[in-house]
Amino acid sequence: MTRRLGSGSLVIATHNAGKLKEIGALLEPYGIKCLSAGSLGLPEPAETGTTFAQNALLKARAAAEASGLTALADDSGLSVAALDNRPGVYTADWAERQWFEGAPGRDWYMAMGKVEGMLAEKGESVDRSAAFHCVLALAWPDGEYAIYEGKCEGSLTWPPRGTLGFGYDPVFVPTGRSQTFAEIAPEEKHAISHRADAFAKLVAEQFGR
């Protein structure tokens, strides 16, 4: 039987305030107080894994060992069937801009364009199926851990549509829908997303719901 979370503090292995808020709201009903790795001054480990699970566990273990508290980390990304499931763990890397006028950052339109360009090279009949993945890793300071994997299948469209999402959301149409993730209201998207799928599995096992 997988070890259970008790009430108390949980370190979320992120320096992103938005992600902390989102995860904190999901866990609040279960008596869990969430702290970010950033607020504790914990360093961000290099994501050297070749799978979502490896990277999520790497981040969770680093936060647990450094803080002495149980930690939760996630790793997520897009896989495109016709591109041998790329970009995969390099989903964010495909959006990285080179240094330009002292302002590095991510350009998601560039990343979406790269994917579309690679698909276009394969012809009009190319398989446009894709999936978003999310892996949640719980790690305890003594080394024990648990993994929860979520997935949302769909297909890619072009040009991008919608302004409500982020990342590759404007080109991803979930199966059974006609709108992209960036056209769907956030609360509706959160109910069907890859992250929602992973969290449902975590909650079911950890809290019996």
Q: Can you name the residues that pair with 154 across neighbouring β-strands?
A: 130, 174
Exposure class string for 58-96: b at 16+ Cβ within 10 A, else e: bbbbbbbbbbebbbbbbbbbbbbbbbeebbbbebbebbe
> CA gyration radius for the chain?
18
Catalytic residues: 75
Strands 145-156 and 86-87, by their bridges, are unpaired
